[in-house]
A and B are shown apart, each in its own frame.
Chain A
């Protein structure tokens, strides 16, 4: 009798281990294979496709960045492109007017964005909901107005020309040599890595608790404000990092480069994919970021028609985002991949008691 129990137990353990192992066995090589494929991609695709992939990459990093705030703290930020802009302007000014090297400029810019994240977190400490959304929007317009009007520093409406290409050990990035592609790919992987590290940690649990129920989180002794601030600083830094690559990628930026539409797009990405999930950010940016190009492509199929009958894809893109938002809110408020937990719980196969013991 005792032996039998023992045996059952060891069997159970081996089943458990097996599951763990199988999961890992499949996941790790698949992930590595995916990365290899992604690395080979620019060798076979046109520059046009590569350019779109790079843009998807930028939005993915921005999505991961906003995910810290909207996904893990549960606060909606309508001004997230502000950090992207600060990172971009800061790195451009440091590498042109201040004549600094690219990477030191990146480090300084990212720190500066972290500082702005801190500022925004403190400025919005006592507000929530709609007021918070409006304040974050105001933050965006404040930043853009300063960039537009502080001519002495930011060149005002003229913008910054001739931003030097990003480089590594003197090897300059171009579209042709795939430098920007590999760099943004690295940033996406970096975003995934820090998100993973964060959510698995004590920090991550605390952040989730704050999102799900701030009061109950407080009761567990969590200092909610600390985690808010950490989330904003991290989000600011990551969006800033994206900005430091975006500026040299464009070569020229001005106050019109960063728009409210961008802020909206980052938010739509998170909501479409499912806030608070990493896969959600990835799927969301794969769907949303190329939408403008897809639309342009669709409309160009009809270019035998006179131009005045053709819709402007730039304008119509946002009608579609609006539609996506409405449909998502109606049908799947938790996002395409979010909130699996609403489904009934089932024991993993092989651990079901009725079948396991026999």
Chain B
């Protein structure tokens, strides 16, 4: 479904992605793990088009998407819930979701998406009219994910959804990610919390300073000694 081949991305002279190759197949949960500055967020920005790649190719559903502008890429069915739960603080929960459905015109389809999101996150339904800025951190994260779902994406990319959340909420978010996959959405998940990520993922990639260091099934990665040492704390 998504295929990155030898992608190179630069910030000025900083070589942030070095010949990165990644594939995500339909229906999978794939996770990218790596420490701070490894290039995880840069990978997602390169895919969604907010960061231009220098060389390599990015194919989605068989079509080259690198070099296109973000709104075109979003239109093709990729959604990104960005790092740091970027919600629109002054807009209500419902307005936030409404903007997520910006590209869609069919009213009844949009209604269905609302129901789906409110079904996944009943807490959001209770807080429909509340300004998003007054939600708790966990609720804002739910809203960011919910908003990304409103476009009915084929591929949902999540950048550190568990960042700064209490342990019980982390578990809840990961459960929800599983739910979302069950409803037919492919997921590319970025996490520092490698333990949890490998627990729900099918496959994983380990990034280190812009290189893909390892790629394997999630089960094998969580058994791998080097990975255990570096990311799983033992």
* A residues lining the B interface (CB < 8 Å): 202, 205-206, 208-209, 212-213, 215-223, 339, 341-342, 344-345
Within 8 A of A (CB), among B130-151: 130-131, 133-134, 147-148, 150-151
| Residue interface bits B92-108, CB-to-A below 8 A is 1, else 0 | 00010011101100000
The answer to whether A221 touches B69, judged by C-beta atoms less than 8 angstroms apart, is no
B82 engages A216 (CB within 8 Å):
yes
Taken together as a complex, chains A and B put the C-alpha atoms of A205 and B100 apart, in Å, by 11
Contacts of B79 in A (CB 8 A): 219
Expressed in whole angstroms, the minimum distance between the Cβ of B79 and any Cβ of chain A is 7
Residues A221 and B75 in contact, CB atoms below 8 Å apart: yes
Provide 27 A-B residue pairs closer than 8 Å at the C-beta atoms, listed in order of the A residue.
Answer: A205-B95, A205-B98, A205-B99, A206-B99, A208-B88, A209-B88, A212-B88, A212-B89, A212-B91, A213-B87, A215-B50, A216-B82, A216-B86, A218-B71, A219-B82, A219-B86, A219-B148, A220-B74, A220-B150, A220-B151, A221-B71, A221-B103, A221-B151, A222-B102, A223-B71, A345-B130, A345-B131
| Residue B70, interface by CB 8 Å | yes
Of all A-B residue pairs in the complex, the 10 with the closest CB atoms, nearest first, are A221-B74, A216-B86, A341-B131, A221-B103, A212-B88, A223-B71, A345-B130, A218-B70, A209-B99, A221-B71
A212 neighbours in B (Cβ, 8 Å): 88-91
Q: How far, in angstroms, from A223 to B134 measured CA to CA in the complex?
A: 27
Residues of A within 8 A of B134 (CB): 341, 344-345
Closest B residue to A221 using CB positions: B74
Contact between chains at B71 and A216 (CB < 8 Å): no
Q: Report the count of interface residues on B (CB-CB < 8 A).
A: 32
| Distance in Å: Cβ of B100 to nearest Cβ of chain A | 5
A205 to B75, CA, bound (A): 18
A339 and B91 alpha carbons, distance in the complex (Å): 11
Q: What residues of chain B lie closer than 8 Å to A220, measured between beta carbons? A: 74, 99-100, 102-103, 147, 150-151
B32 part of interface (Cβ distance < 8 Å): no
Q: Is B80 an interface residue (CB 8 A)?
A: yes
Known A221-B74, A222-B71; judge A216-B102 contact (CB<8 A).
Answer: no
| CA–CA, A216 and B82, complex, Å | 7
Alpha-carbon distance between A345 and B74 when the two chains are bound, in angstroms: 32
Interface residues of B in 39-90 (CB under 8 A from A): 48, 50, 69-71, 74-75, 79-82, 86-90
Interchain CA distance A218-B69 in the complex, whole Å: 9
Q: Which A residues are CB-close (under 8 A) to B80?
A: 219
Interface flag for B184 (CB, 8 Å):
no
A215 touches B88 (CB 8 A): no
Once bound together, how far apart are the Cα atoms of A215 and B100, in whole Å?
13
Closest to A334 in B: B90
Residue of B nearest to A206 (CB): B102
Known pairs A212-B89, A221-B71, A341-B134. 18 more at Cβ < 8 A?
Answer: A202-B102, A205-B95, A206-B102, A208-B95, A212-B90, A213-B87, A215-B50, A217-B99, A218-B74, A219-B74, A219-B79, A219-B80, A219-B81, A219-B82, A220-B100, A220-B103, A220-B150, A221-B103
Within the complex, the shortest CB–CB distance from B78 to chain A, in Å, comes to: 10
